[in-house]
Amino acid sequence: MTENDEGYTPPEVWTWDRDSGGKFASINRPVAGPTHEAELPVGEHPLQLYSLGTPNGQKVTILLEELLAEGIEDAEYNAHLIDILEGDQFSTGFVEVNPNSKIPAMMDHSTSPPTRVFESGAILLYLAERFDEFLPADPSRRPECLSWLFWQMGSAPYVGGGFGHFYAYAPSKMEYPINRFTMETKRQLDVLDRRLADHDYVSGEDYTIADMAIWPWYGQLVRGELYDDAARFLDASSYEHLLEWAERIWERPAVKRGSMVNRTWGSEERQLRERHDASDFEDAPADQ
Ligand SMILES: N[C@@H](CCC(=O)N[C@@H](CS)C(=O)NCC(=O)O)C(=O)O
């Protein structure tokens, strides 16, 4: 790929250019399936999470920490690090848990046979239903929570794969995709800001898995935690209701703990490479 894509004419049949540049060029492939044999580790708890502390991974560890904070001991989990830049998601063991080779993926060994769950939204729903928490049972309120949960699943790829990719990761800055995905990202921020103008939480009066799904992407984006300077570029301070909600969620100790798990970058006190026991957080200042 050249610095300037003007004048590019797509060939009749696309072929894979392994050196397309960009941060993820080394792991992205146009085919699925495993690249190597390796088993996944299995720890002592029923729930085995295979993940990384990106927003998609943080959603699940935030929910698990919230469940544990409620005193639900059966939500104890081992969180194993999957290093996607090293290609861990393409091992035979990982592909057995998630044929889509993306974190997060989870095995529940409390069932016989063990249950696999992949896709962060499916994992949140599985855990919320299993422990009957953070998902309203009332048929007049449950659909609102599920609507926002699925809104996040459909919307965030425009932020991550679109805006974030072209603003922060692409090998050169290209005006057309940056404009296109910035416009959509700002529209989504406005959707949330309007919703939160007259609701405490995204799905209404209760803190639910919809907040836990949305905060790691949109809460962290407006708090300046994603894509370098993106909060400034997006004029995040203008989304005042969204920012207030983002700060309120961040004040929750379980959110602070959950967002550290399987995180291997950023400030050291906000990293916990693997989580196998509640005591793993003890030395971390973020849990104070
Ligand atoms: N829709 C999926 C998206 C998961 C996803 O995109 N995971 C990324 C990290 S945030 C990943 O594992 N990428 C590895 C790869 O593309 O090979 C979910 O919500 O679970």
Which CATH number is 7-134+260-272 given?
3.40.30.10
Atom nearest to 57 CA in ligand 1: 10
- Say if 7-134+260-272 and 142-251 have the same CATH topology: no
Q: Looking at domain 142-251, which of 3.40.50.11540, 1.20.1050.10, 1.10.1030.10, 1.40.20.10 is its CATH number?
A: 1.20.1050.10
End-to-end alpha-carbon separation of the chain, Å?
Answer: 48
Query: Which of 247, 262, 288 is CA-nearest to residue 61?
Result: 262
Query: Which of 80, 49, 45, 84 is CA-nearest to residue 63?
Result: 49
Helix, strand and coil content of the chain, in percent to the nearest 5, comes to 50, 10, 40
Q: Is the CB of 101 under 6 A from ligand 1?
A: yes
Q: Is the CB of 56 under 6 A from ligand 1?
A: yes
Which among 28, 31, 103, 209 is the best mutation to test ligand 1's pocket, defined by most ligand atoms within 8 Å of the CB? 103
Report the chain's mean pLDDT, rounded to a whole number. 94
Question: Would you mind telling me the total number of residues written for the chain in this entry?
Answer: 288
Residue-wise pLDDT tens digits, 61-90: 999 999 999 999 999 999 999 999 999 999
> What pLDDT is attached to residue 101?
98
Q: Is 202 exposed, middle or buried (0-12, 13-18, 19+ CB in 10 A)?
A: buried
Atom nearest to 84 CA in ligand 1: 14
Atom nearest to 52 CA in ligand 1: 9
Gap from CA of 101 to ligand 1 centroid (Å): 8
Q: Is the CB of 272 under 6 A from ligand 1?
A: no
Nearest residue (by CA) to ligand 1, atom 11, is: 102
Nearest residue (by CA) to ligand 1, atom 15, is: 102
Q: Is the CB of 51 under 6 A from ligand 1?
A: no
Atom nearest to 102 CA in ligand 1: 12
What is the pTM for the complete model shown?
Answer: 0.95
Gap from CA of 191 to ligand 1 centroid (Å): 24
H/E stretch holding 232: helix 230-233
pLDDT band at 3 (very low <50, low <70, confident <90, very high): very low
Gap from CA of 228 to ligand 1 centroid (Å): 20
Q: Is the CB of 102 under 6 A from ligand 1?
A: yes
Residue-wise pLDDT tens digits, 237-281: 999 999 999 999 999 999 999 999 999 999 999 999 999 999 999
Distances (CA, A) of 39 to 33, 163, 167, 219: 15, 35, 36, 35
What is the distance between the alpha carbons of residues 85 and 257, in angstroms, rounded to a whole number? Answer: 24
What 3-state class would DSSP assign to 209? helix
Q: Is the CB of 220 under 6 A from ligand 1?
A: no
Domain boundaries, the chain: 7-134+260-272, 142-251
Query: Which of 284, 278, 286 is CA-nearest to residue 77?
Result: 278
User: Which tokens sit at 3?
Assistant: 């610095």
Residue-wise pLDDT tens digits, 15-55: 987 776 777 777 889 999 999 999 999 999 999 999 999 99
